[in-house]
Amino acid sequence: MPIPSRAALVEHLVRTRIAGDVATPRDNNLAHYRKLANGDRHYWLGLELGDRWADEQDVLAVMAERCGVNDDPAHRMGQDTIDPELTVDALDRMAARLRKAAAGRERVLFATGHPGALLDVHSRTAAALRAAGCDVVRIPGGLVADEGYVVQFADVAVFERGATLWHTHSPEPMNAILDGLRAVDQPLPDLVVADHGWAGRAAQRGIDAVGYADCNDPALFIGEAEGTLQVAVPLDDHVLDPRSYEPLTAYLLNTAGLL
């Protein structure tokens, strides 16, 4: 995979709709912001937000600043956006944390609630960090959560039920991993690279965490704004062809000095 320049990556993100005019509609974004503000913990993605974000307009302001959605509260329907420049800025911040992990040969855990799109992104990042000397966490066997199993494919923890890998926002699979590691006297990770509730719960439990988040998943951006989560990368987290994320991964790993 050729390493794209910043300008080439921005163009690719817009063309593939990973950023720019994304598929997630405005009304869906606003509904999620409202539910987070109303205290629906499903939308907190494993973070503990208390009553600090009870005004959905405050949530919208954070999402406009950190994700690039339209900041006009009167814009209720139709298209919404992710600013590709903000995506690349966040990739640069994530790369700096990965570079630190490589330099310190840290213990790193990878997990995804979006196995249909982001599994390969995480797997390639795990392989690059292992090649740099990091200890990529191997999760204990037999972990259960949410009436399913927490398993690992290509170094990435995922949620499985009924012989199928599931899309999940739940923080419970990450709880199962961290509690499982303690139960077998294995050290917790120094860094978690994840998304959804996997990233949010790891950060809430005091572990350095970086992750990817869509424009209808405001909690991770709030977590970064509050300093709980180290980095939230804004992107559409499920475009149709998972190969579309390959230039993004190449840019990230190259910027981190891992290629």
Q: Is the pLDDT of residue 21 over 80?
A: yes
57 burial via Cβ count (<10 Å: 0-12, 13-18, 19+): exposed
Q: What is the pLDDT of residue 42?
A: 97
- Look at residue 8 in the predicted model and tell me its pLDDT: 98
* Tens-digit pLDDT profile for residues 33-53: 999 999 999 999 999 999 999
User: How would you write the chain as a 3-class SS string?
Assistant: CCCCCHHHHHHHHHHHCCCEECCCCHHHHHHHHHHHHCCCHHHHCCCCCCCCCCCHHHHHHHHHHHCCCCCCCCCCCCCCEECHHHHHHHHHHHHHHHHHHHHCCCEEEEECCCCCCCHHHHHHHHHHHHHCCCEECCCCCCEEECCEEEEEECCEEEEEECCEEECCCCCHHHHHHHHHHHHCCCCCCCEEEEEHHHHHHHHHCCCEEEEEECCCCHHHHHHHHHCCCCEEEECCCCCCCHHHHHHHHHHHHHHCCCC
Global pTM value: 0.97
Q: Kindly state the average pLDDT of the residues 144-149.
A: 98
Distance, in Å, from the CA atom of 25 to the CA atom of 14, rounded to the nearest integer, reads 16
Q: What pLDDT digit, counting tens, does each position of 172-217 carry? A: 999 999 999 999 999 999 999 999 999 999 999 999 999 999 999 9
Q: Is it the case that residue 109 has pLDDT exceeding 90?
A: yes
pLDDT of residue 148: 98
Mean pLDDT throughout 220-248?
98
pLDDT at 149: 98
Q: Positive or negative, the Cα torsion across 115, 21, 219, 41?
A: negative
Mean predicted confidence (pLDDT) in 8-22:
98
Tell me the pLDDT tens digit for each residue of 76-87. 999 999 999 999
Residue 1 has pLDDT above 80, yes or no: no
